[in-house]
Structures are given as C-alpha cells and as structure tokens.
Structure 1
C-alpha cells in the first residue's frame, strides 16, 4: 500500500496527491511514509542571485524555491528532537553530571542531519505553526509557531511523558560573505527535567555553507557551546572544531568536558557532530605542556569510553530526496486535525515537494504578497489609533505563545501559554488566522 501511495503522491495532480496522503493518515498512526517524490533536476545558477546579496541579511531577500528543500524552518527546528531518546535516558539518570553528558549528546545530535542538507528551509509566514504529536508511540509532542517576521523568529515548546520539557525561541541571522554563507542562530535553548528540577541552558553554534560561487556546496559547524545546569552549577563545555584541509584531526570533530560547580572535571566527551559521541569518566587530571597558543593543556586520565549517541542510518536513495533523515521524510506528510496554519498545509511547499517548482514559485509570491497586504493593513490601523484603543490591541500577537520576561535570562522571549492541544482535541480553530 505504501508503495502505491508513494507513486500516486508523486503524480502532478495536487488534489489526488492530497487525498492520497490523507488516506494514508487514516491508516495506522505508526505507518508513516518512507519516501517523497524525487528531487527534479532543475538547473539554476546560485551565483546569479547570490552576487547581489553580499553582506546583506538574507531573510529579507526573496529566493526562488529552487534553493529550498520542501520543509519549513519550523519543521527543521522540530528536527532537533530526532534523538529525543537521549533526553528520555537523561531523565532516568540519578547522577546530574551523567545526565549532563546525555544532554550534551542531544545538543550535538541536532546537527547530524545537516551534513548534506544544502537546501534552505521555507521561511515561515507570520502565524504559521507546526505540530509533531508522537505522544502515543514515542512519548513526546511538540508545537512551533512563527512569532515574528522581521526579524524572523520561531518559538518552540516540546514536552515528554518521560518528564522533560524543551523550549527555545530561535531567530536566524544570515550573512553572505562572498565564498561562503554564515548562519547564526540567536536564542537560548532550555531543557528542564521535572523530577530532579535540573534546568539546562545553551545556545547553538554557527553553520557555514561553503563553495557558494564554484564547486560542490558543503556545510560545517564551528564554535563553542556551554551547557549550564542552573540548579547545580555543573557545566559542559563543547568545542566544534572548524574543518581544516591541513588538520590531521578527524573531520567534524567535537570535544567536551563536563565539570561540577567547583570546576573539577568528571567526564570527557569526544566524537563528531555527524556520526557519534562517546563519554569517558575522568579518574585524574594534571597540567601538561603549553599549547601552540601559549595556554597550558590539561591532561586527563580516563576509563574506557562508552557510546552516548550514534546517528541513524540514512534512508535508501536519500540523495534523491534532499538527504532527508527518516524523521524528516515524515514531517510534511499530511495529517488530519492539525491547525489550518500548519506548515503541511502550505501550498507552495506542497507543490515543490510534488516536483511542480514553477507553480510553487508563483504560489510563493502570492503567499508573500498576501502577508505583505495584511501587514500594511495592520500598520495602517496602528497609524489611525482611535481614542480608547491601545497600540497593544492592534500590534501583532502570536496565538499560542506570549511575550514575557524569561525568568532565567531576563530577556523578553515568547513562552508557550497553552491551549494548542486543547484546541486540537475540540477541533476549535476559530482563532487561527487565514495565512494560506
């Protein structure tokens, strides 16, 4: 059945594709698709568009879908949860320092799907949402909402029956530097374990897309992450080494040290962000020779390493399906009962997935113009504020998240205010805006 559905899905008729996928969702909830239509072989000169973007913020420049992959940024953000079982395992740890090792592995695992993913996700429309409800089979559910358009920002809230909550608000800053493109995610990620009260915070590293002008595109992750347990003061310092042609080190290397609140090292982490991470318990540490930069190295004596995380095998023919992981292949599959603002219902993205890129580009322009019209009306209403009407009443407010001061960072962030899953249960979507 799934093979027949996949073949029908790749046909050029939208209505039959849609009804086919809806039919699939009525089958077993666990019987999810494992294929999407092959990526068409469209040729487009990346440089012809990018040469006008040097030094600019790319989120403000309209791009054809030819550079995209058929997922939204909200779906890409949800992909952070692909290895959610690491948090499930962390929730069972009685030792907070060992728990921190699993949280660190989870942090690294979120980059593993990016190695060949050179297509950019669709910029979500303001008010667009994406839910992933895997509570029944995998024990977690997640909701994302695009809460700001300029600068583009998405709020994300996930909860698990295993006693963890993950939340983040991520804004993407991107700059084209000529030969390469830098993507800087801004915002703090929080993970709380309800039983212990351990609360971990960290930020993301910079992603770099190389060979924009000539050659094959390739992606690197580089920078440092400090994961801090707010309750205990424990910390994990992770270092993502930038790729160097001249280095004898393994490519995409990640190293880490887990320390307690006194600075004493308890675990060493090592591995790569695209394959696996191991951890080793520290028996003894001592000062070694000075490094090339003049800093004194610390030498750790450890027990034999144990595997923390290993990347799942890529699906067959992943190269013809945008190099999507097994999870990514399921994210844009239509499901009944989701909000009318869900990314899966976005028509330009659906047309692109079905290989109809010319129509997708026209549809993308229509949706963006519709969004601009709504924004102009809102700005016009604000300029005509009547007596007794406050600016707050007219300015844009997200539906499922509200802007409040983060109790930990003291920044103003969008926190989940509840109500989404209750609205889904009742199928009461009356408050949802018409964005598609």
Structure 2
C-alpha cells in the first residue's frame, strides 16, 4: 500500500513547483516515491529533498515534451522517446495540479524558446545596465528582480488568456452539439440552462480577456519608459553616494588629524606620570562580550567564557582598541591620505572595469567519450577541448586568489602577531570561495606565458605570474603591495582522474611577508575534488589540512577542511582551526565555511574534558569570548550563472589593456575566441598553439643535447630519445624563465622561482626585449 504524502503545494502559476510523486522504476520495485521540482521549464527529480544541492537523478525539458493522462492518478511525460516518465500522483486532485503546472510551464518554455530564436543576443540588452557605483547594488538587484517577476506574471496571464480562449471555444462547441440534438422534456430544459450559463461565462471571460489584452499592451508600451527613468534615478543616486563618500573620507581624515594632535599634546604633558607599556594593548583585552555556545567541532568544543572576564571588560576598552586591527573605515582612508600628498592623482578617475562578458554558449559534448581513455593520467596530459574550459588561464586563476586582498591589508596593520595570524588564515581559506560553482577548467598556460594584474591605484598592489616550467607544469606568482605586504608562490598542479571523480593536488608553498614586524608566513593548498564526472551534476569539494606557520615568531594555525559526507550532521564545507603560539598555547579559535564566511574568537581558557572523539581521544574544551566575523564572501554579479559563475574580479581578468607584455594571457587567441563564444575557432587555435609549443620544445631539447654531446664526446647519445616527450632524464625543462630566477628557498629548502625584477620597469619603458613569440 502506498501512503499519500502530505506535502504543501504552491500555486500552479508560480515559477517553481515542488512535491512528492510516485515514479515507475522497473518491474521489481514498481512505483517509488521521488521528489520532483518544476522550474524554468525543466522537470527534475531527486530521491530525497537533501539531494537537490548536489545529485539530480534526471531532467526533462518541457518545451519539446508531451503530457498525456492515463487515468485518474497516472500521467506520462515523454520527450521524443529519449526520456519517458510514468508518474502517479497521490490523488486525482494532486494529479490535476501537476497537469496544470506542467501545461503552464510547457507553454512558457516554448514561448521563451521561440523568443530566443527570434531575438538572439538582443534579450540581455533590454535590461538596464548596472550602474558603475559601489552603493545600491542590492537595491538594483531587487528592482531588476521585481521587473522580472512582473514580466513573468504578465506572461503567465497571457498563457492563461490563451488557455481560457481555447477551452472556452471547445466548451461552446460541445454545448452547440448538445443543443442540436433537440431533446425535449426535462433534459432539454437542463441543456438550455447550461447553455445560458455558458453564454454568461463566455461574455465574462471575453471581458476579462479584453482587459488583460489592454493591460498587456499598456505594460509593454510603458516598459522602456520606466526602465529609462529607473536608470536615470540610479545614475543620480550613484553620483550622490560618491559625493557623500568623498565628504565622509575628508571628515574622517580631519577627525583623525585632530585626535592625533590632541593625543600627542596629552602624551607630552603626562609622559612622566604614565607607566611603561600603558599604551600597548594586552592580549587578554580584545573583546568584552560573551561567546554563545557554537556547534561541536570535530577536534574541540567551545563554550562561553567565565563571567569574571566580563567584569573587567568596561575598563579595557582603550587596550582593546589599541591592539585590534583598524577597521574597514580606516583602511579606506589610507588612499585619501596618499592622494593629499600628490593632489594630481586625485583628479585622475579610476578606470571603469567591465561587468559582463559574452554568455556561455549551450554546446553539448560527451565527456565520457574523451575521458574514458584517460583514467589514471594527469590532467595536464589530457588533450581537452575548450568546451570544458573557462575563458581564463591558470595564471589568471592564481591571480584570482587576490579577490580578498583586504584581509592582508588589515593583517599588515595588526599590532599582535597572533591576531595577524587569524587574518592570514582567513585569507588562505577565502581563495576557495570562488570554486563552489566553477566546474570549468582553466587554460593550461603556454611555456613563457605571463599575466599581470595591476591594481596599484585601486587597491595598492601589483601582481605578476609566469609559466616557468611545462613538464611538470609550474607557475610562479609574485605580488607586492604598497600597504606593507608581499605574497609569492610557485604552484605545480598534480591531478589524477579516477573515473567517478577528479582529484587536483596543488603542490608548492605560499609565502606572505609583512614589513611590520618582519613576520613571514607559509602554507600549502588543500586537495580539490570534482565529483560526478560521468553521471550527474558536477560539484566541487575541498578537503585536507593547512598549517599556516609564522617563521618569525613560531606561531601556528592548524586549519581542517572537512570533506563532504552524506552521513555527517555538520554544516557542509566546514572549516575549523586553532591559532597557537610557539609553546602550543591556544589563543584563537576559527570556524566557518570555505564558501561563505569565517569567524574567530579569543580563547580565555582551555581544558581536556569533552566527549571522547575518534580512537578514544578527549576533545579540548575552549572557553572563548564572542566570535567576530573576519571574512565574508562577496555576492556574485547578476547573471553569473550564464558567465561561468565568474566573480566581479574574474570578469575583469581577461579584459584587454594597452601596454601589456606580448606574452600576457589577454593576448592568447584561443582563449579570446572562447570568451567571445566562437568555440570551434578556439579549438583550432588551441591545437595550433600546442603544436607550436611542441616544435619549440623539441628544438630546445636538441640544442641541450648537442651541448651535452659537445661537452662529453665519449658518451653516445640516442637521437630518438631527444624528441621523446616522455624522457625523464632531467626533472625539469631546460627553459629559463624571463622574470624569475630559480634558487633554493631559505625557509622551506625547496627549489623555487623568485621574482628578479625588471618587469614593471620594462612596461614603463614600453620595451619588451627577450619576450618569446608564443602566440
């Protein structure tokens, strides 16, 4: 006996319709209950509601589907024979609701498909562009969402109009046929009554249809006018916000100057009376509120601190403020102070970056036909078409780690090295937030390819990447900031395809050096796993552990990325960590998720007394103050789902700029063609560039072999082995990087590439001597 599920059902005219439906599986199991979701003209189903985020069992497009009714509760949806769903509702009323919702969705999907075929790429231009301001972004999205909702409702009204006309005409024909039978007696009277009522219904329906038609025409007439007025209001509001922002910065600067002058005078008067170290904040005086008990972590438990820490909080406000990092407001004031030193810079407007790229074409490709012969191979050795790529290179993907560079700006202002560690740890986690929906693979850089990211005027930093090795593929990255920090890394990606999933293991160490305190931090990246390679929807997970080490003070932060599990009760994508000094004493606890936010709280006391964990180990209990948010992910731009889920920074990475190096990724033709939607031409260019790279590499190997032969004539050399790409006699390519020198790292002892300088000077002169011809 099949039970009738009690599920709240939304109105059929809504954009999304969900509910439990019994689906025929096979002759053994029969009908099984499945969770169906109708959205945007697509009908998808899952085994449970929890699977909606990661595993879709099947999807059918209603635009080309047929819907038929078998009996009171059964109905069938078929898509040209390729897909057929035999479904059974819990009751006849429930089946009718689904039929109505499916018909409306089918009509809307067919209409949208016809409009897209007619208009092509003109549809996105109907919506007003986003104003280039920082304020009001959420309000713009709300207005756009309201406009889209109204447009959707108008389309639903038009669909209902057509359905009423269709069914009304059929009803009138049926009644006319009954009237033609000329029945007498009571049956004839009943038919006449029904005919009269149907006539009244037709008159009322026609009146409603005419009113709807007039409303639709009026809405279409005034739509463009309202959009223009909305755009004008938005531009005016942005100008006002920019003016207010400038006034606020000037006001804050004057207040800081006045406060600094007052404090310097007071310090001079009371210097003899003040005790030593009075102006330095204590590590125990950071917060003055309790921390609510948070969810149990895998390795430790946090509880509220004892009340005696709260009693002295009111007297520690000055110490708290002196040790904490400056807030966002003070960081925003720094460019203003620099601009006042050189007033000419303030008059030069910042460059407006682009906010959109061409929408991703809907090209279908059989992934298994390409991957089935590549199981166990490295990803860099698999000839992948551009269909699986995203229109940026691996060098640009490395530069995207600077999405949240302000965390390093705040860290450079910290007085305490332990708190600085919290910001550095949060920065190491923030780089993964852009990978949640990014299932596309970046372009493998060509040997000698470079990429620069000059944001010195906007954000105070300059970044340079260069592909320094091809086998194994390695990229060197160097960032210098005017705000007191330097970041460098050399990343080599090792990957293995395991059939059901793809594992990507970044190798190499990331270094962050701060001028203040000369603190030098290092850490490594965790493993990225792409699931559902063969069947289902692709989704990405991060798992592993990170040790952020301060080599100057000995401080350490151990971060743990919990892998996704169907059976875990914890929140997905969870990250936890503890900041400890060189003696192993815990000072801060970090918690959050790598795709959303991170928080840190001050540890007041720690003890062993929690429930036994794995292998009988006791969990450490930390008494902490109230947690403070240290990082939160920026929202994606509007329409990101059609633009490879790029962030606002990623949308600007491939924007062409004048004066860049001839080897810059923005000059790469196959990548540019793919971004423009010309994938077939991009595939041809990709093959040409790869073959050109092979020819240059074989020639370089011949020259290296001839030099070895000249220096050692007594040894025989196999000529065939000189052109063998799989030759492993030398661990690295003989190619010499142009902007980086190979040396041994003083901290880790690894062989790395360090920036040797000269790039930005060459750009200023406009002379690019020695740059190879790779395109």
Q: TM-score, normalised by structure 1?
A: 0.92
SS in structure 1 at match of 2:491 = strand
Aligned twin of 2:739: 400
- The secondary structure found in structure 1 opposite 2:683 is helix
Cα-to-partner distance string for 1:373-397 (whole Å, 9 max, x where unaligned): 10111111122227589x9xx9310
Query: Does residue 242 in structure 1 map to residue 563 in structure 2?
Result: yes
Partners of 1:399 and 1:312 in 2: how far apart? 35
Selected match of 1:295 from 617, 625, 628: 617
What residue number does 1:337 align with?
659
1:354 aligns with 2:676: yes
Runs of 4+ displaced beyond 4 Å: 386-389
How many Å separate the matches in 2 of 1:410 and 1:382?
27
Q: CA deviation at 1:410?
A: 1.0
Q: Distance in 1 between matches of 2:470 and 2:589?
A: 40
Report what 2:101 is aligned to.
none
What secondary structure sits across from 1:335 in the alignment? Answer: coil
The equivalent residue for 2:773 is 434
Q: Name the counterpart of 1:374.
A: 696
Quickly say closer, same or farther: Cα 1:28–1:350, change in 2 above 3 A. Answer: farther
- Write the distance in 2 (CA, Å) between the matches of 1:371 and 1:305: 52
Task: String of CA shifts for 1:336-380, please: whole Å, max 9, x gaps.
Answer: 011000000000000000000000000000000000010111111
1:142 is matched with 463
Q: Deviations over 1:64-91 (max 9, x none)?
A: 0000000000000001111000000000
Matching residue within 408, 411, 425 for 2:750 = 411
Secondary structure of the 1:293 match is: helix
2:587 to 259, 263, 266: 266
Whole-Å separation in 1 of the counterparts to 2:402 and 2:532: 29
Please show how residues 41-80 of structure 1 align to structure 2 within 5 Å.
Answer: 41-80=362-401
Question: Relative contact order (C-alpha < 8 Å, sep 6+): which is higher?
Answer: 1
Structure richer in helix, relative to its length: 2
Name 1:282's counterpart in structure 2: 603
Tell me how far apart the structure 1 counterparts of residues 360 and 615 of structure 2 sit (CA, whole Å): 47
CA deviation profile, 1:277-318 (whole Å, cap 9, x unmatched): 000000111102320332221011100100000000100010
Aligned-residue offset at 1:28: 5.5
Task: Give the equivalent residue in structure 1 for 2:505.
Answer: 184
* Aligned mates of 2:704, 2:397 — CA distance in 1: 34
SS in 2 for 1:415: strand
> Between Structure 1 and Structure 2, which shows a larger proportion of strand residues?
1
How many equivalent pairs are there? 411
Cα deviation 1:168-217 (Å, max 9, x = unaligned): 00000010011000000000000000121000000000000000010000
Q: 1:198 aligned to 509, 519, 535, which one?
A: 519
The reply to whether residue 102 of structure 1 matches residue 441 of structure 2 is no
RMSD: 1.8
Q: Tell whether 2:543 aligns with 1:222.
A: yes
Q: In structure 1, which of residues 425, 429, 434 is the aligned counterpart of residue 764 of structure 2?
A: 425
Distance 1:39 1:196 in 2: 47
Q: Distance in 2 between matches of 1:265 and 1:95?
A: 14
Matches within 5 A, 1:150-165: 150-165=471-486
Q: Give the Å deviation of 1:61.
A: 1.5
Counterpart of 1:431 in 2: which secondary structure?
coil
Alpha-carbon distance in 2 for matches of 1:356, 1:208: 29
1:137 Cα deviation after fit: 1.2
Report the secondary structure of 2:355's partner residue: coil
C-alpha distance 38-28 of structure 1, shift in aligned 2 (>3 A): farther
Give me the whole-angstrom Cα distance separating, in 1, the residues matched to 2:615 and 2:590.
22
Note the residue ranges of structure 2 that are not aligned, 5 or more in a row: 1-121, 126-347, 713-729
Q: Which residue matches 2:534?
A: 213
**What per-residue deviation string (whole Å, max 9, x for no partner) do you get for residues 116-149 of structure 1?**
0000000000000000000111100100000000
> Shift of residue 165 of structure 1?
0.3
Deviations 1:82-128 (A, max 9, x none): 10000000000000000000000000000000000000000000000
Secondary structure of the residue aligned to 1:184 is strand
- 1:243 aligned counterpart, secondary structure: coil
- Corresponding residue of 1:252: 573
Q: Which of 315, 320, 323 is equivalent to 2:637?
A: 315
Distance 2:741 2:749 in 1: 15
Secondary structure in 1 matching 2:487 = strand
- Which segment is superposed worse, 302-311 or 48-57? 48-57
SS in 2 for 1:384: helix
Residues 66-75 or 424-433, more deviating: 424-433
**Structure 2 partner of 1:173:** 494
Aligned to 2:517, the other structure's residue is in SS state: coil
Extract unaligned runs of 5+ from structure 1. Answer: 8-26
CA deviation profile, 1:2-58 (whole Å, cap 9, x unmatched): xx9x97xxxxxxxxxxxxxxxxxxx96430000000000000111111111111112
- CA change 1:409–1:415 in 2 (3 A) is same
Larger Rg: 1 or 2? 2
Distance 1:39 1:28 in 2: 32
TM-score (ref. length: structure 2): 0.52
